[in-house]
Amino acid sequence: MQSVMFLTFQPNCGSGSMEKTASGYPMGEEKREKMKRTIIKDWKTRLSYFLQNSSTPGKPKVNKKGKQQAFIKPSPEEAQLWSETFDELLANKYGLAAFRAFLKSEFCEENIEFWLACEDFKKTKSPQKLTSKARKIYTDFIEKEAPKEINIDFQTKIMIAQNIEEATTGCFTTAQKRVYSLMENNSYPRFLESEFYQDLCKNPQITRAPQAT
């Protein structure tokens, strides 16, 4: 369960007497630290890929069919807007992709995946599709030992289990609001402090060729 994985990386304040390796980490913790560093490196690589394959800020890249591609590098001014509200970040495709990759590095990407699944769910018109999507969201994110189980209280889980029997677009409203609040108050501030986001907000330095004498 990913939420449990995330907790395993929190500092253990009572482990001072544990045997340590040559690197200074307690045995077992060293492996977890290496795994975390690998994942962080992975999300930085993905975000760098977006940078390298994006067009000039303000000029969306267009494919042969005339459709705009998903990831366009924001200008520093546009990236700075993401710090004003969490909604500004989620409304930007590039910003959303960066935030998802950041959550993956923190082992809590199930939160944004659940939120996005709920957004898609609320747009569903067909009653049949509504029911099938509700059951999938429940089995993926809500039920005990779900592969992407989110951290919500027991009463909310019970209410959702009852609601999906006659699914409506409001089945997951309470859970979605709680997950949104969790991301806004915890992961979002850390994302704004991340090296990648800070780099996006910087104006590119202009290097001048030395003048001939």
List, for residues 57-85, the tens digit of each pLDDT value.
434 444 445 554 556 788 999 999 999 99
Check residues 167 and 10 and name the one with the higher pLDDT.
167
Any idea where the domains of the chain sit in the sequence?
A: 73-201
Residues 97-143 have pLDDT tens digits of: 999 989 998 888 999 999 999 999 999 999 999 999 999 999 999 99
Query: What fold does the segment set 73-201 form as a domain?
Result: Regulator of G-protein Signalling 4; domain 2 (1.10.167)
Work out the mean pLDDT of the chain and round it to a whole number. 77
Note the pTM of the prediction, 2 decimals: 0.68
Contacts of 185 (CB under 8 A, 6+ apart): none
Q: Would you tell me how many other CB atoms lie within 10 Å of the CB of residue 16?
A: 8
